[in-house]
Structure 1
Amino acid sequence: MTFTNRFKLSAMMFLEFFIWGGWFVNLGTYLIKNFKSSGSEVGAAYLTQSIGAIVAPFIIGLIADRFFSAQKILGVLHLLGGLLLWRASTSEGFTAFYPNILIYMILYMPTLALVNSVAFRQMDNPQKQFPPIRVLGTLGWIFAGFLVSWLSWDKLGSEAALVNTFKMSGTASLILGLFSFTLPATPPVKKGQQVSVGDVLGLDAIGLLKNKSYLFFFIASVAICIPLAFYYGFANVFLQDAGVKGSTITQSLGQVSETVFMICIPFFFVRLGVKKMLAIGMSAWVLRYVLFAYGNGDTNYWMLLGGIVLHGICYDFFFVTGQIYTDNLAGEKFKSSAQGFITLATYGVGMLIGSILSGKIYDSNVGSDGSIQWQSIWLVPAGIAAVVLVLFLLLFRDKKHVETQPGVDAEDAEIVL
């Protein structure tokens, strides 16, 4: 891979996640402080991510893979997305704001797969070349958080300034949209081929659920995304209410932690195996929300920081390990469809349920005087994660060989857990 292509792909990843991190972290705070939105409305706004995740496979599988070059579709989606974010910034209430962000997320979520597609197609050694390029995405998210806090847009008492986060991300989206047309050519890989809805949704990998261990993992993956929705929707609102200065950059410590633990995954994976890795990840979810429940911005500030830093273990030990487990079990024939299937179930179904539930739990814990019972709110996702953890430990069998499923080669099925 040439230096020019490496630079372009790195810039692409940086902008891709700068855009998302620029507005998504503060969305709940913006809606509650500026529009006086209810928790259910915040949940509905974050639910757009799930809707986008459900629609994304159709845009990728039925359009991008068959008719148009990935970099051109990426450009068009980001140009339209930039306009939608600017339009969202001019909305005067939730009713006007919601359609813009809904359409935006339907357009944005497919770009997460598109940037990977553009990157992988230029590489001759993805295992070596992809990580240092992909890490620029995490840095982009962190830098967006740094800018929001450095410019004091998330400063306590200046909530109106948060509208600038949408303008900043919208501008970055327009820049990436134009820049995308200069990216290396990535023509459609299935041009002229017939693709079914089942292929698009990865339903041909449903046979993996016949393996009881994978079935329990699959159910746990969906269930653990319910607590995840609480964090996405209300963590920033909580930090601001607790009096944390620079709440956005403080929350970005979670992405720093994610980067560190991502590097450590191979080391832990070999020594701990799948079951212990997944269990540690779920345990971190329980601990994170307990720390949030009993932390505050004064004497127990360390608990808030601890809950944020645990994001690396929460995400990497469960989701990344789960992706590896799924990839190993699926075999060559079903690798792509299996990943699509688990993504649809987690970010689609799991996060959708979590977004609805978190909004209702928030609303039920807001007093008539506007006070918020955060301890009661955070103990709910802690309890859900704890139940999922216990059931997983009881039902997931930690064995050295996995029974062969239809379409799975025996040698591919034999994986050390």
Structure 2
Amino acid sequence: MTTTNRFKLSTMMFLEFFIWGAWFVTLGTFLDKNLSASGSQSASVFSTQSWGAIIAPFIIGLIADRFFNAEKILAVLHLIGAVLMYQMYNATDVSVFYPYVLSYMILFMPTLALVNSVSFNQMKDPEKEFSNIRVWGTIGWIVAGLAISYLFHWDSPEALAKGMLKNTFMLAAIASLALGLLSFALPKTPPKVSSSEKVNVKEMLGLDALNLLKDKNFAIFFISSVLICIPLAFYYQNAHPFLSSIGVENPTGKMAIGQISEALFILLIPVFFKRYGFKTTILVGMLAWAVRYVLFAFGNSGELSFMLLIGIALHGVCYDFFFVSGQIYTNAKAGERYKSSAQGLITLATYGVGMLIGFEVAGWITDTYKTSETTIDWKMVWLIPSIIAAAVFLLFSVLFKQEKVKDTETVVA
């Protein structure tokens, strides 16, 4: 790969995740403070991510893979996204905001696959080269969070009172415009499939990989993946409003600790695989969800603030040890025949169905434990997903049997 292309791809990844991190982390607080949204209304807004994940394969499979260069579609989606972000910036009511965020997520979620496609197309050895490009995405998310808290101070109590958190959408709109324009200069990534080739919807959605569910171990893993997304949704939807409401300073910047942790713990996955095997690795990830929410339930912004910081830092263990490990396990179990379809199926099940259920549950629980117009019993809001995570941990530990699965690069035990 040339130095110029490496720089372009790294910048592309940086902006892709900078955009997402610039508004999604603070979305729950924005909905509460700026639009006075209820828990169920917030759940509906967050669920747009799931609808985007469900619809994304159609955009990629029907358009990107068949008719147009990936980089050009990426450009168009982000330019339209910039306009939608500007409309979200101007919205003053949830009913006005919702159609824009739904449209935006339907267009944004396919870009996550497109940036990977553009990157892989330039690599001779993706397994060695991709991580060096993808890490810039994590850096972009971190920089967005740090900028909001420590540069612009939009999440300070004074700024929240003035409604300044809406500026995050303008920041994301500017970044989306920049990425849209940059995308026209990205390396050419032509369609992978002939436009005349017959469309296979089952393969596009990964449904042909449902045959893998005949394997009891994979079925247990699949069900566990859907269920663990319920507590995951609580974090995305409630963590920032929780930290803001209890008086934690610079909550957006502090939540960036989670992405730093994610970047670090992903390096430990091969070590855990080799020493402890897949089952133990994924169980550690599940247990981390239960522990982090107990820390959130009993921590505070005073002398117990360290509990909150540890809970945030556990994001790397929660995400990497379960989701990244799960992707590797899925890849190993699927073999060549179902390799791509199986990854699509897991994505559809987790970010689609699992998160959709999770956001609805999180919204319902938040409304149930809202003790007044401005106060929420956060201890119960966090203990419930902790119990759910612990139940999934027990389910997986009892029903999933140790096994050895080999592919060319990985041994999962």
TM-score bracket for the superposition, by shorter chain length:
over 0.9
In structure 2, list runs of 5 or more residues that go unmatched: none
> Could you tell me which residue of structure 1 aligns to residue 190 of structure 2?
187
- 1:329 touches 1:415 (CA, 8 Å); kept in 2? no
Deviation per residue, 1:2-38 (Å, 9 max, x gap): 0000000000000000000000000010010111110
- 1:326 touches 1:338 (CA, 8 Å); kept in 2? yes
> Could you tell me which residue of structure 2 aligns to residue 168 of structure 1?
171
> Could you tell me which residue of structure 2 aligns to residue 32 of structure 1?
32
Q: Distance in 1 between matches of 2:200 and 2:348?
A: 16
Q: For the aligned residues, what is the CA RMSD?
A: 1.4
Runs of 4+ aligned structure 1 residues displaced above 3 Å come to none
Q: Distance in 2 between matches of 1:398 and 1:124?
A: 35
User: CA, structure 1 residues 272+369, in 2 after alignment: closer, same or farther (shift >3 Å)?
Assistant: same
2:7 matched to 1:7?
Answer: yes
SS of the counterpart of 1:331? helix
Q: Distance in 2 between matches of 1:32 and 1:182?
A: 39
Percent identity over the alignment is 56
- 2:329 touches 2:412 (CA, 8 Å); kept in 1? no
What is the Cα deviation at residue 229 of structure 1? 0.4
2:331 matched to 1:330?
Answer: no
Q: Distance in 2 between matches of 1:215 and 1:144?
A: 38
* Of 304, 311, 321, the match for 1:300: 304
Deviation per residue, 1:300-337 (Å, 9 max, x gap): 10110010000000000000000000001101121111
* Of 231, 240, 243, the match for 2:235: 231
> Could you tell me which residue of structure 2 aligns to residue 406 of structure 1?
none
Matches within 5 A, 1:68-87: 68-87=68-87
* Of 374, 383, 390, the match for 2:387: 383
What is the Cα deviation at residue 273 of structure 1? 0.9
> Could you tell me which residue of structure 2 aligns to residue 346 of structure 1?
350
> Could you tell me which residue of structure 1 aligns to residue 180 of structure 2?
177
SS of the counterpart of 1:157? helix
> Could you tell me which residue of structure 2 aligns to residue 221 of structure 1?
225
Question: After alignment, is 30-39 or 11-20 more displaced?
Answer: 30-39
What is the Cα deviation at residue 277 of structure 1? 0.6
> Could you tell me which residue of structure 2 aligns to residue 358 of structure 1?
362
Normalised to the residue count of structure 2, the TM-score between the two structures is 0.97
What is the Cα deviation at residue 415 of structure 1? 5.3
What is the Cα deviation at residue 369 of structure 1? 5.0
What is the Cα deviation at residue 65 of structure 1? 0.4
Deviation per residue, 1:351-393 (Å, 9 max, x gap): 0000111001001111135221000100110010010000100
Normalised to the residue count of structure 1, the TM-score between the two structures is 0.96
What is the Cα deviation at residue 264 of structure 1? 1.7
Deviation per residue, 1:256-278 (Å, 9 max, x gap): 00000012211221111110011
- 2:273 touches 2:411 (CA, 8 Å); kept in 1? no
> Could you tell me which residue of structure 1 aligns to residue 325 of structure 2?
321
> Could you tell me which residue of structure 2 aligns to residue 155 of structure 1?
156
Matches within 5 A, 1:61-100: 61-100=61-100
Q: Number of paired residues?
A: 409
Amino acid across the alignment from 1:165: T
Q: Distance in 1 between matches of 2:48 and 2:115?
A: 20
Amino acid across the alignment from 2:159: S
SS of the counterpart of 1:30? helix
- 2:332 touches 2:405 (CA, 8 Å); kept in 1? no
